[in-house]
Each structure stands twice: as structure tokens, then as C-alpha cells.
Structure 1
Amino acid sequence: MLITLLLKLLLVPTLIGLVTLSGRRWGPKIAGWLSAFPIVAGPILFFIALDQGNQFAIIAATSTLSAVLAIIVFGLAYVWAAVRLNWIGSLAVALFFYTLAVLGLKLLSLSLYAAAIASVLAIIAAPRLYPKVISRPSNSAPSRFDLPLRMSAGAVLAVSVTYFAPNLGPRLTGIFAMFPVMSLVLTVFSHRSEGREFATNQLRGMLFGWYAFATFCFTLALLLPTMEIAVAFLIATTAALIVQLGSRRFVV
């Protein structure tokens, strides 16, 4: 538990910082695409497997895979709410629909193959459901406090989720390993500082990164019953990296 907490405290703010800088350098879609790679959820699932055993980790990985659906719901709700609302209203709407999606996933308890099929279909369909926006350069330079505030907000959210996760059981633990810390922090701060168009493009770019994330979770849950934990994670990470590199050409 302590290792998981420290992992989130170190990885989440660092990743938020790197993705923020990449967004300023290469644009919002690349930033979103990079942020979806399982840099955070992967190590969390690894330590869950070490602490709780393979069977717990298999259920958690399957739930984490199904949670891609909830993250997609979060993004869609946010971008459409942002057409009319500011970041506060958009966030409230997104979290409301995210909560509904999580409750639905808990009731459904999707199998590994059902979660994989549903996630891939949702990833394919979701870009077509986004509003069309034109990227516009920001009119103002980011505040010197912007990056530290983003990283601090990510750390606070990560700690909060980690605190409650142990009492949730494997399914909800897996779902909340996928709590939209990255999406929430990056989207809200981008909306505030760079505008709705930047935030929308960032979330849309994130969709193409979910292919690698889904590959990681599916491969992991498939291999854990028959392989050592370290070997299963190594193969799953390699498979995710290959898919991530292959999906780059779709991020336009």
C-alpha cells in the first residue's frame, strides 16, 4: 500500500508535468495520446498482484480494462458540456456521467473478452462523437504557477483515490486504478489556460492512446493465470508499447 501510494505521488505529477510540456511543444492531441499509456495504472496493478495475488490482479486488470468505457464517457460528457459551460460546469457534468458509468460497470461485471470488445468498439466510435473544433493558439503565456499547480492537483487526487481503494474489492479497485486523474487535471487546467478547443483536442488525442492501455490490461489478465507476475507484466508492457507506436499515425 505504501509503495503504491509513493508510486502515485511520484508518477502522476511527473507524468502530468511531461504531458503538459509535450502539449505546449507538439500540441494537445499528442499530449493526450501520450498520457493514455499505462505508466500509472500498470505499476499499480503490478503491486496489487504482488500484495493480493494473481487472482485478485486478474479481476482488477479486467475491471481496469472495462473502466476505459467510463473514461470515454467522462471525456465525451466534458467536451459536449464545454460547448456551453465553463470548466467548473463541464467538470461537474463529466464526473456525474463518469459516476453513472462506474456504477453501471460494477453491476455488469464484464468478463475479460466482453470488456475487451466493448472497450475497442468504444475507442473506435468515440472520435466520431466529439464536436469538431479548430485548434487556436493561446493568447496568453501560462502562469509560472500553472505547472506546479497541475502536478500538485494530480498528487492530491492520486492520494485520495489510493486511500479509499483497499476497501473496495478487486473490481472497484481495478476501476479506480483507472480513475481519471490525468484526464481530469490535464483537461481542467488546459480548459482554463488554453481554452475549450485545446482541451477537446487533448481528450480526443487521448482516445488513440487507449488502444495501448486496453492491450496492456487484456494481455495481462490473459497471461497471469499461467505465468509469473514479472513475466506477464513484461510481455503486456511490450505489447502495449508496440500498439502505442502503431497508433501514432492516427493522431492527426
Structure 2
Amino acid sequence: MLTVLLVKLVATAVVVIGVSVAVGKLGPRLGGIIAGTPIVLGPGYFFMLQERPAAFIESAALSTLHALVATLLFSICFVVSAHRMGALASLGLATLCWIPAALLFSLMPGGVLVAVLMYGVVLLVAEAVKRALKLNQPVVVATSGWFDLLLRGLLAGVLVSVATTLAARSGPLLSGMLVGFPVGLFTIGWTLHQRYGADVARATVSAAQQGMLSLVAFGVVTATFASITPPLVTFLLSLGASVGVSALLFLRSQWRVRRMLARQSQGR
């Protein structure tokens, strides 16, 4: 058992750190797309697809979708509280919001469609909060140091290894919920708050809310195809859907930047 846990921990940490390094090395275009890939959900469901039956995967994926809705509340709580509280205090409060929210959403009736609709509604609330707070884009280029990468990789590895091995014995609800915990937002919020201040951390976490749609795409495809395609095919389809959504979101953001620059040039 311990060997299995360690293998999953190390494998997940290597994937998370490798993807994080690639984001900084490949430039803004490819890096922006890769940044939206499911670096925690991917390893988690890769292991679960190999070890668990289709019914388990479907239920776990639905639980993950509910956890992603709770993650939006996590981000809202952080951007509201981080302005007046320290990094760990605001992240602790956000986590305390995430836990009961994830449990509550998991008890709501309905399947994947209802979960996606809930995500859409809460995303609109998150966007409204962002506009009300008038959060600006980060004014610094925040780079990840090796401490950030190792911390993110270690936390993700522990989460995935526990979720796919120990928690899986308790059923798909807990497994799906754990792999949906916002490890990335937690570490990003912590390190940026400590290094660049609350404003940069709040703006960065807020900007990641729409990017989470790629994770929603991963969960939807996993839940839909787990019982009708082989495990590896399901994983590749989910990964492809996630990368596709990330690419569309990135291209949309690039188009908006070009349009804004064009308007500024015309006004001169």
C-alpha cells in the first residue's frame, strides 16, 4: 500500500512540476494553453480509470464537477478576504468555505447537466464580484520559483495518491471531491500574496475562474464516456476536451487584447 501511494505521489508531482516548467519555457501562446490543462485531475483520473469500474468513475467525475463549483466559491472568498487578511488566514477561510460547499453541492439532485448549470450560475456571481471589486490585472510578471513548484507538486501528489488509493475505499464521492480540491489556486494565492502582495494574488486568482472551464470540460467528458469507451480512450478524450477549451479561452483573450490595442491606437 505504501509503495503504491509513493509511486502515485512521485508520478503526480513530476507531472505537475513538468507542466509548470513547460508553461514558462514555451512562451505565452503555448504556455497559456498548457497552463489550463488538468495537471491534478489528469493524474488523478488516469489512476482511477485504470483501477476502478466505470460506475465508480462516473460518480467520481460528477463529484469533481460539484467540487469545481465549490472552487469558485473558494476563489470568491479569497479575493474578498485577502485584501484585509494575511495569505494563510484568507486561504484558510476560503478552504472552510470550500469544504461544506463541496458537500452541499454533492447532495443536490441531478446529473452532469445540473452540475454544469450550477457552475455557470456561480461563475456569473464570481464575475459580478470581480467587477464590483474593480480588480485590475496583475501589474507584475509573476514567475514561479523552485519552492513554488515543489510545494505545488508535493501537495498535488499527496492529494492524488490519497484520493485514488485510500479515499477510493470510501466510495467515489470522496475521491472525486479530493481531486477537485483547488491545489493550484491555493499555492498560487499563497506564494503571490507573500511575494507580490494581496492585489496581485487577488487579481490572479480571480482571472483563473474562467480558465477552470477546461477542468469542467475534463469532468464532463469523463463522466459521459467512462461507461462507453475504454479507460485510456476516455482519458485521452477528456484531456483533449480540456486542452481544446483552454485553447479557445486563450485565443479569445488574445483577440480581446488585440481589439483593445487597436482601439487605443485609433484614439491617438
- The answer to whether TM tops 0.5 is yes
Distance 1:238 1:18, change over 3 A: closer
Match of 2:85 in 1: 85
Indicate which of 127, 150, 172 corresponds to 1:152: 150
Q: What stretches of structure 2 of length at least 5 have no aligned partner?
A: 258-268
Distance 1:193 1:17, change over 3 A: farther
The DSSP-based 3-state class of the residue aligned with 1:93 is: helix
Q: Deviations over 1:176-215 (max 9, x none)?
A: 1111111111111011111222212211221121122111
Q: Which amino acid in structure 1 is aligned with residue 247 of structure 2?
A: L
Match of 2:17 in 1: 13
Distance 1:60 1:112, change over 3 A: same
Distance 1:229 1:213, change over 3 A: same
Q: 1:154·1:182 contact (CA, 8 Å) conserved in 2?
A: yes
Quote the Cα distance in structure 2 between the aligned partners of 1:162 and 1:200: 26
Q: Which amino acid in structure 1 is aligned with residue 237 of structure 2?
A: I
Q: 1:62·1:174 contact (CA, 8 Å) conserved in 2?
A: yes
Quote the Cα distance in structure 1 between the aligned partners of 2:171 and 2:178: 10
Q: Which amino acid in structure 2 is aligned with residue 213 of structure 1?
A: L
Q: Which amino acid in structure 2 is aligned with residue 186 of structure 1?
A: I
Q: 2:137·2:204 contact (CA, 8 Å) conserved in 1?
A: no
Matches within 5 A, 1:168-207: 168-207=170-209
TM-score normalised by the chain length of structure 1: 0.83
Deviation at 1:35, TM superposition (A): 4.0
Q: Deviations over 1:147-187 (max 9, x none)?
A: 12212222332243245422342111011111111111111
Distance 1:4 1:114, change over 3 A: farther
Q: Which amino acid in structure 1 is aligned with residue 123 of structure 2?
A: I
Deviation at 1:79, TM superposition (A): 0.7
Deviation at 1:110, TM superposition (A): 5.2
Quote the Cα distance in structure 1 between the aligned partners of 2:175 and 2:231: 18
Match of 1:64 in 2: 64
Q: Which amino acid in structure 1 is aligned with residue 117 of structure 2?
A: I
Quote the Cα distance in structure 2 between the aligned partners of 1:109 and 1:43: 28
Indicate which of 211, 217, 236 corresponds to 1:209: 211
Deviation at 1:250, TM superposition (A): 4.2
Q: 1:8·1:159 contact (CA, 8 Å) conserved in 2?
A: yes
Match of 1:104 in 2: 104
Distance 1:109 1:250, change over 3 A: farther
Quote the Cα distance in structure 2 between the aligned partners of 1:235 and 1:176: 22
Match of 2:134 in 1: 132
The DSSP-based 3-state class of the residue aligned with 2:97 is: helix
Quote the Cα distance in structure 1 between the aligned partners of 2:119 and 2:19: 24
Quote the Cα distance in structure 1 between the aligned partners of 2:67 and 2:213: 13
Match of 2:46 in 1: 46
Q: 1:67·1:175 contact (CA, 8 Å) conserved in 2?
A: yes
Quote the Cα distance in structure 1 between the aligned partners of 2:11 and 2:182: 16
Q: What stretches of structure 1 of length at least 5 have no aligned partner?
A: none
Q: Which amino acid in structure 1 is aligned with residue 158 of structure 2?
A: S
Highest CA radius of gyration, 1 or 2? Answer: 2
RMSD (Å), alpha carbons: 2.7
Indicate which of 4, 23, 30 corresponds to 2:8: 4
The DSSP-based 3-state class of the residue aligned with 2:10 is: helix
